[in-house]
């Protein structure tokens, strides 16, 4: 197998290149622990505040399934906390390095862009899982929820398969600062906000106006939430969520190559127009 200079990689060297980005992000995460604390507190407050709405709504209704409603909203807020962490981590791939001033030194290194983005995605997913698990653990202190129905295997499968397409969405959002140095990061946030609206985070997508429901069908987050709720509320097993897993896998198969191609195209555009280093 040829060396890096030969343009090919052994499995070990490719993995090591990706892990360099995971290690760097971990170091940054440790150095900016204050921000992590802020986001954790925000996540807990957001989760508890929104889930308490279920208690309030259920209190005035005879025979209301308060526990089911609490779980529905709790899952929504936790999945959103996870999606936000992953989307933010990966979509900052360009913006953070522009802010630090390191972008040129990182992008001129002999690392294929897909390995760079793989490393960023692995960190984003691990970071999102850790933060969400902490929010979940703290939120449990506020609610009495029966998790006896949860199918853990189906839950893990949905999270893993969905994370691939979520990473692809984040890469697509992350390339915007390459095209629009002054407005790209705001546009990335609009992508996140749009997902919140159309994906059924706090309500069933059926309550959306018909024209908005079209967008919910093309959001992987919709199927992510469906799968998680099926596994946690309805106790569905792997076979039952196979259809949702299939759709999520299809999203991944289509969106991962698409996002990598789009990122490479955006990088070429930035190099042609001199927008790589420019700050907004």
Partner 1 sequence: MHSIPLEVTNLSKSFGGARQFLWRREKEPVAAIRNVSFQIERGEIYGVIGANGSGKSTLVRMISTLLTPDEGQISVFGLDIRRHELEARRLINRVSPDPSFFKNMSALENLLFFARIYGMGPAEIKRKAAEILGRLDLADRIREPMLNLSRGQQQKVAVARAFLTSPVLMLLDEPTTGLDPASKLQVQQFVREVREQHDATILLTTHDMDEAERLCDRIAILVGGNVIAEGTPLELRTRVANGRPLEQVSMETVFLELTGKSIEEDEEVMAHG
The contact set with partner 1 (CB under 8 A) reads 3-7, 13, 16-17, 19-21, 23-24, 27-28, 31-32, 100-102, 104-112, 268, 271-274, 276-277
DSSP 17-54: HHHHHHHHHHHHHHHTHHHHHHHHHHHHHHHHHHHHHH
In the structure, how many helices (H) and strands (E) does the chain have?
A: 12, 0
CB of 266 to partner 1, least distance (A): 13
CB within 8 Å of 194: residues ≥ 6 apart: 215
| Residue 203 DSSP SS3 | coil
Provide the token pair at 156.
């893990």
User: For partner 1, which is the closer residue by CB, 109 or 133?
Assistant: 109
User: For partner 1, which is the closer residue by CB, 20 or 189?
Assistant: 20
User: For partner 1, which is the closer residue by CB, 31 or 193?
Assistant: 31
User: For partner 1, which is the closer residue by CB, 59 or 108?
Assistant: 108
CB of 89 to partner 1, least distance (A): 15
Q: Which residue blocks in 180-241 are alpha helix, DSSP H?
A: 184-198, 210-217, 220-232
CB of 161 to partner 1, least distance (A): 29
| Residue 65 DSSP SS3 | coil
CB of 43 to partner 1, least distance (A): 22
Give the N- to C-terminal CA distance of the chain in Å, as an integer.
43
User: For partner 1, which is the closer residue by CB, 37 or 109?
Assistant: 109
CB of 95 to partner 1, least distance (A): 14
Element (H, E) at 255: helix 242-273
């Amino acid at each position: 197998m040829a060396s890096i200079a030969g343009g090919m990689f052994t499995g070990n060297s490719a993995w090591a290149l990706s892990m360099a980005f995971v290690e760097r992000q971990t170091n940054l995460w440790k150095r900016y622990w204050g921000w992590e604390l802020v986001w954790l507190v925000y996540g807990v407050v957001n989760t508890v505040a929104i889930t308490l709405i279920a208690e309030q709504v259920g209190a005035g209704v005879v025979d209301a399934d308060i526990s089911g409603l609490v779980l529905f909203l709790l899952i929504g807020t936790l999945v959103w906390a996870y999606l936000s962490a992953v989307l933010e981590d990966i979509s900052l791939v360009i913006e953070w390095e522009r802010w630090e001033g390191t972008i040129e030194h990182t992008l001129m290194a002999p690392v294929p862009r897909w390995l760079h983005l793989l490393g960023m995605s692995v960190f984003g997913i691990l970071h999102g899982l850790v933060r969400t698990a902490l929010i979940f653990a703290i939120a449990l202190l506020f609610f009495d929820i029966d998790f006896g129905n949860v199918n853990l295997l189906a839950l893990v499968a949905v999270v893993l398969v969905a994370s691939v397409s979520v990473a692809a969405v984040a890469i697509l959002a992350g390339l915007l600062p390459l095209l629009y140095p002054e407005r790209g990061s705001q546009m990335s946030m609009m992508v996140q906000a749009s997902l919140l609206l159309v994906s059924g985070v706090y309500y069933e997508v059926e309550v959306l106006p018909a024209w908005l429901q079209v967008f919910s069908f093309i959001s992987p987050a919709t199927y992510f939430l469906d799968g998680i709720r099926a596994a946690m509320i309805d106790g569905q097993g792997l076979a039952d969520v196979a259809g949702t897993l299939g759709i999520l896998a299809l999203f991944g198969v289509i969106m991962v190559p698409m996002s990598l191609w789009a990122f490479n195209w955006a990088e070429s555009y930035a190099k042609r127009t001199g927008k790589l280093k420019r700050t907004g």
